[in-house]
Amino acid sequence: MPEEPSALDGLPRLRRLAEVTELAAVVHPLYVRFSGGPDQDAAATSRDHESGCLLPGLSVNPMNPEPWWDRPVEHWVARQLCQYAHLMTPERFPWLLTGTVAGRGPDCEPLLVDVVPAASVDPAVVEEAGRLYREVFDAGDDGT
């Protein structure tokens, strides 16, 4: 029996950090999510794991830098990919999307509705982002 078509079918699969950075430069707003993909997310209800509260949208990370960001866009993108890289498993992968912010989650992350998938991100990009992150940031420095 053939597999059901996926919402990611026909979308680009980004294989380099530079490709993700280029997309973030032209698509606003752009977000990243680590999950089983848009089809799985559409069939589930998002919950805050600690409280059990229903969330009004999908938890995402912004890929477009804030106006105060005075470093290369690639640094922002790498940092955002690394923030939730611990969620990546064989069943959960990074994908890029856009949509409407319906609220904020418990970590103040945007919660999206009216989601439109933009691309999938190869796990090798997260590894590349991790190398850049360690090279250009003082990871774990809290300023004290």
pLDDT at 3: 57
Is the pLDDT at 130 greater than 90? The verdict is yes
Q: In whole angstroms, give the CA distance from residue 62 to residue 51.
A: 24
pLDDT at 65: 97
Contact yes or no for 46/54 (Cβ under 8 A): yes
- The structure's pTM equals 0.90
CA angle at 140 for the pair 144 and 84, rounded to the nearest 5°: 140
57-103 per-position pLDDT tens digit = 999 999 999 999 999 999 999 999 999 899 899 899 999 999 999 99
DSSP secondary-structure letter at 84?
T
pLDDT-derived band at 123 (thresholds 50, 70, 90) equals: very high
37-53 per-position pLDDT tens digit = 999 998 877 889 899 99
